[in-house]
């Protein structure tokens, strides 16, 4: 059963920010993640601030620099089907289309997808785990087949978003608006590593709104893709995924960004793979060498060593895909 809270639907961003200054107020976008957390008492809310009265947070538009502005309330279904996103930012269109189920993609927004809370069964269950402020990460010694193989020092949850790795690979930034004005944060700096603060996933403050996502123009000769590996094809969170963006000059790679999902508390960028790729032609040999680097430094838990092979496979398939598209 849901706890008791008040519900407001402000008609401007300024009014929404003022409503969010109430202690315990929370942003309500599509509600697909938030309402489950409230129902299961993962956390509480004194007030929900609905964004549904803010049409300026919706839709995708082209920027004068050739980039894209994506309103935070754009649904995952809209993002996946948008012609410009499909044509120029394929990794994002594929990631949005691979998230959750058709019903959830029609309701869930991209802003909510970036700000969603962990799916770890201990966090979502009746455990006062480290992420909830306790002193134990129960997954470390417990059921951990879906958990992190990278960056899990204090908490081994994996970041659940599919759009986050794609947006990070595409070098996106987000605009956050709060009582003191607005700030733009690169997605590289948006997610908080567990070793820095394991009780928060993002830099968004309680009284801030994520209003839009900004994408730069794709690099010259760009090709991108998101490869998601999951237990069930119909819908499931990523066991692991790989978002790959390459820029090509002829056959030579001039730019590469590779970000993994499902393997760390934050979307996990793999600079060793990127370094291996730049300056070379995307041959079978290079794809194998680069994919082998993706698993370096992994620290599997008792039940998830299979993820190391999955990471390599996801990167290999994603690189083969961009070669075919380039």
Ligand X SMILES: Cc1cc2nc3c(=O)[nH]c(=O)nc-3n(C[C@H](O)[C@H](O)[C@H](O)COP(=O)(O)OP(=O)(O)OC[C@H]3O[C@@H](n4cnc5c(N)ncnc54)[C@H](O)[C@@H]3O)c2cc1C
Residues at the interface with ligand X (CB under 6 A):
26-34, 36, 72, 76, 99-100, 104, 107-109, 111-113, 115-117, 160-162, 204, 209-210, 235-237
CB of 152: closest distance to ligand X in angstroms?
Answer: 19
Alpha carbon distance 96, 234 (integer Å): 14
Q: What angle do CA 196, 202, 206 make, to 5 degrees?
A: 115
Q: Which is nearer to ligand X, 115 or 244 (CB)?
A: 115
Cβ atoms of residues 157 and 120 within 8 Å:
yes
Give the residue closest to ligand X by C-beta. Answer: 112
Cβ atoms of residues 233 and 244 within 8 Å:
no
Q: Which is nearer to ligand X, 201 or 321 (CB)?
A: 201
Q: Which is nearer to ligand X, 58 or 107 (CB)?
A: 107
Q: Which is nearer to ligand X, 54 or 287 (CB)?
A: 54
Q: Which is nearer to ligand X, 90 or 116 (CB)?
A: 116
Long-range contacts of 231-235 (CB under 8 A, 24+ apart): 234/101, 235/100, 235/101, 235/104
Alpha carbon distance 165, 39 (integer Å): 28
CB of 151: closest distance to ligand X in angstroms?
Answer: 18
Q: Which is nearer to ligand X, 34 or 222 (CB)?
A: 34
- DSSP single-letter state for residue 231: S
Q: Which residue has the tokens 């508390």?
A: 265
33's torsion region: left (phi>0), alpha (psi -120 to 50) or beta?
alpha
Classify residue 157 as exposed, middle or buried by CB count within 10 Å of its CB (0-12, 13-18, 19+): buried
């Amino acid at each position: 059963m849901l706890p008791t809270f008040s519900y407001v639907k402000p008609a401007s961003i300024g009014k929404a920010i003022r409503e969010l200054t109430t202690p315990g107020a929370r942003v309500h976008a599509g509600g697909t993640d938030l309402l489950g957390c409230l129902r299961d008492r993962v956390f509480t809310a004194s007030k929900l601030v609905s964004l549904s009265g803010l049409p300026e947070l919706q839709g995708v538009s082209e920027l004068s620099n050739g980039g894209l502005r994506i309103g935070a309330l754009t649904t995952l279904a809209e993002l996946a089907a948008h012609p410009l996103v499909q044509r120029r930012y394929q990794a994002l269109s594929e990631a949005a289309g691979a998230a959750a189920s058709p019903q959830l993609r029609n309701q869930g927004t991209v802003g909510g997808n970036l700000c969603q809370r962990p799916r770890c069964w201990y966090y979502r269950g009746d455990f006062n785990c480290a992420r909830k402020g306790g002193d134990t990460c129960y997954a470390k010694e417990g059921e951990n087949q879906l958990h992190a193989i990278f960056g899990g020092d204090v908490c081994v949850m994996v970041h659940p978003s599919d759009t986050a790795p794609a947006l990070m690979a595409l070098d996106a930034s987000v605009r956050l608006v709060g009582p003191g004005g607005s700030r733009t944060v690169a997605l590289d700096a948006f997610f908080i590593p567990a070793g820095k603060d394991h009780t928060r996933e993002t830099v968004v403050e309680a009284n801030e709104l994520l209003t839009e996502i900004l994408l730069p123009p794709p690099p010259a000769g760009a090709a991108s893709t998101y490869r998601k590996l999951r237990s069930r094809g119909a819908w499931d969170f990523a066991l692991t995924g790989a978002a790959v963006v390459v820029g090509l000059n002829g056959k030579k790679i001039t730019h590469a960004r590779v970000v993994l999902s499902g393997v760390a508390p934050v979307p996990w960028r793999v600079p060793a793979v990127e370094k291996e790729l730049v300056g070379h032609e995307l041959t079978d040999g290079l794809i194998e060498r680069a994919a082998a680097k993706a698993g370096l430094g992994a620290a599997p838990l008792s039940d998830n060593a299979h993820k190391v092979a999955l990471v390599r496979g996801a990167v290999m398939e994603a690189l083969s895909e961009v070669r075919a598209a380039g």
